[in-house]
């Protein structure tokens, strides 16, 4: 069965609030300059204006990062053998692997990933390969051998909050 993961963001709402705040700040700034002769440098105003759309840009960048990181998690030789699966394996591609190993055999699972931007605030990742759910959550092979779960999405999910925080500190710039 396929494996699916969905990300949702409230970026549009947050960007709307930031935009309203910036608009209000610009009005106050113009009035203050007019009434008090206050000097606000143009570069300061321009830096503030880069905040417009920062949440949406950050969401898109986070999805780009997650997309690449999911692939990296599969390709990393970090998946250990377990008591339930103590053997070396001859893969369909002829490679013999032991532990730790990556979880790419023929490449079909890796290549089955689809990134679906459902809307500007929702992105789904779907691995359409028939063994995707079994590889991620564990399964029993046709011969009855229990194959361990290799939840390649978990490290990405564990790290994404910190990644988003860093992106926001950078102002949502690529």
Question: Is 137 within 8 Å of 103 (Cβ atoms)?
Answer: no
Count of structural domains within the chain: 1
Helix H segments across the chain?
11-36, 42-49, 54-75, 108-111, 132-137, 154-169
Task: Look at 19-23, 41-45, 105-109, 152-156 and tell me which has the smallest mean pLDDT.
Answer: 41-45
Report the predicted TM-score, pTM, of the whole model to 2 decimal places.
Answer: 0.76
Q: In this structure, is residue 62 part of a structural domain? A: yes
What pLDDT, on the 0 to 100 scale, is given for residue 111?
Answer: 96
- Residues 6+ positions from 153 with CB-CB distance below 8 Å: 3, 5, 70, 73, 125, 136
> What is the chain's mean pLDDT, rounded?
82
For residue 97, CA distances in Å to 79, 81, 103, 129 come to 11, 10, 10, 21
Residues 67-86 have pLDDT tens digits of 999 999 999 988 876 665 66
Nearest 5°: the CA angle 142, 146, 149 is 115
23 — pLDDT class (breaks 50, 70, 90): low
Q: In this structure, is residue 174 part of a structural domain? A: no
How, if at all, do strands 146-147 and 96-97 pair? unpaired
Which of 154, 159, 134 lies closest to 146 in space, CA to CA? 134
**Which of 30 and 167 is assigned the larger pLDDT?**
167
Range of the domain at 29: 3-169
130 — pLDDT class (breaks 50, 70, 90): very high
Q: In this structure, is residue 145 part of a structural domain? A: yes
Side-chain-side CA neighbours of 28 within 13 Å: the count stands at: 6
Question: Is 103 within 8 Å of 79 (Cβ atoms)?
Answer: yes
Residues 98-115 have pLDDT tens digits of 778 888 888 999 999 999
């Amino acid at each position: 069965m396929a494996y699916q993961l969905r990300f949702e963001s409230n970026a549009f709402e947050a960007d709307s609030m930031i935009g309203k705040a910036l608009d209000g700040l610009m009005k106050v700034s113009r009035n203050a300059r007019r009434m008090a002769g206050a000097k606000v440098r143009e570069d300061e105003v321009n830096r503030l204006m880069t905040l417009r759309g920062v949440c949406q840009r950050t969401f898109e960048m986070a999805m780009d990062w997650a997309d690449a990181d999911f692939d990296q998690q599969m390709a990393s030789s970090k998946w250990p053998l377990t008591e339930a699966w103590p053997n070396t394996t001859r893969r369909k591609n002829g490679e013999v692997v032991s532990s730790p190993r990556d979880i790419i055999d023929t490449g079909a699972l890796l290549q089955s990933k689809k990134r679906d931007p459902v809307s500007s605030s929702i992105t789904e990742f779907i691995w359409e390969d028939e063994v995707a759910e079994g590889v991620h959550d564990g399964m029993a092979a046709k011969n009855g051998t229990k194959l361990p779960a290799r939840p390649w999405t978990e490290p990405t999910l564990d790290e994404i909050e910190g990644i988003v925080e860093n992106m926001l500190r950078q102002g949502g710039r690529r």
